[in-house]
Structure 1
């Protein structure tokens, strides 16, 4: 069962956070290991596993970048430790930002990173906002993948 099925939510790149929280508390109330102290060992172990899965799913789905990564993995478009090849132009920009950081120009670098994040998000904003299972194309998801890796680079700076 994937995280979306567990929380009874449609697959999306932007889960409804209020619905996510509501489902989380409902699932935790139902499967929390403390509710199974009188149960058999097998039932206690199952409750522990389900509770851990609920926590992992909630942590993933409440984090925007982790949700994007998770959906891309569900679609078979991203592997766990994938080494993604970004364009040389983008890598040069990142290298220049790292040089600015080493020079201690923090005000300039923060503004530049924010500007770059906006630039890389604009082409995929509509895809992320309007994602629909079965309608959003693989080509569009590959654009989101490119954005995901670029953003990861910028976040590391």
Structure 2
């Protein structure tokens, strides 16, 4: 099942999140298992499965990082548990951020600066209206962005602790 189709969303790396909750509620009203209690066991099971897909899709589409990850997985650009090699320059910058965390310096500011820099690098791709417009280079840039952003999010989680 393709969650973009389920939610009537364009197949893109970045979506307009404003209508996602409304579509979620609409789908749950249609497929929630509680509405199928008087039907056959198979129909109840189908409703439960559909509701589970709707819940999972909603969890993906309400988070832009998960949306990007799902898109890249659908395009077979990233794989589960993939070992992606980040550039040495990026890793050295992250080492500086980790040192700043240890020394309780301006780590959050550094992470935010890096997040902004990463977003600036792919903003034009994320604003593209259709995935057909994505070149192989665009998809490669999105993949690199995804893994760098994932790295930064782990650092932010450490800062929160």
TM-score range, shorter-chain basis? Answer: over 0.9
Q: 1:152 aligns with which of 150, 153, 157?
A: 150
Q: Which runs of 5+ in 2 are unaligned?
A: 156-161
Q: 1:139 aligns with which of 133, 137, 140?
A: 137
| Superposition misfits of 4+ residues, deviation over 4 angstroms | none
In the TM superposition, what is the alpha-carbon distance from 1:131 to its structure 2 partner? Answer: 4.3
Q: Name 2:65's counterpart in structure 1.
A: 65
Q: Name 2:119's counterpart in structure 1.
A: 121
**Helix, strand or coil at the partner of 1:134:** helix
Q: How many residues of Structure 1 are paired with residues of Structure 2 in the alignment?
A: 155
Answer yes or no: is 1:55 the counterpart of 2:33.
Answer: no
Q: Name 1:94's counterpart in structure 2.
A: 94
Given that 1:13 and 1:131 are in contact with CA atoms closer than 8 Å, whether structure 2 keeps it comes out as: no
Relative to the length of structure 2, the TM-score reads: 0.92
Q: Name 2:46's counterpart in structure 1.
A: 46
Q: Name 1:36's counterpart in structure 2.
A: 36
In the TM superposition, what is the alpha-carbon distance from 1:51 to its structure 2 partner? Answer: 0.1
Q: Which runs of 5+ in 1 are unaligned?
A: none
Given that 1:113 and 1:154 are in contact with CA atoms closer than 8 Å, whether structure 2 keeps it comes out as: yes
In the TM superposition, what is the alpha-carbon distance from 1:149 to its structure 2 partner? Answer: 0.7
In the TM superposition, what is the alpha-carbon distance from 1:142 to its structure 2 partner? Answer: 1.0
Residue-by-residue CA offset, 1:59-107 (whole Å, 9 max, x unaligned): 10111000111111111100011111000111111112111111122xx
Given that 1:15 and 1:62 are in contact with CA atoms closer than 8 Å, whether structure 2 keeps it comes out as: no
Task: Give the superposed CA RMSD.
Answer: 1.1
Residue-by-residue CA offset, 1:127-153 (whole Å, 9 max, x unaligned): 011241212112101101111111111
CA distance in 2, matches of 1:16, 1:125: 14
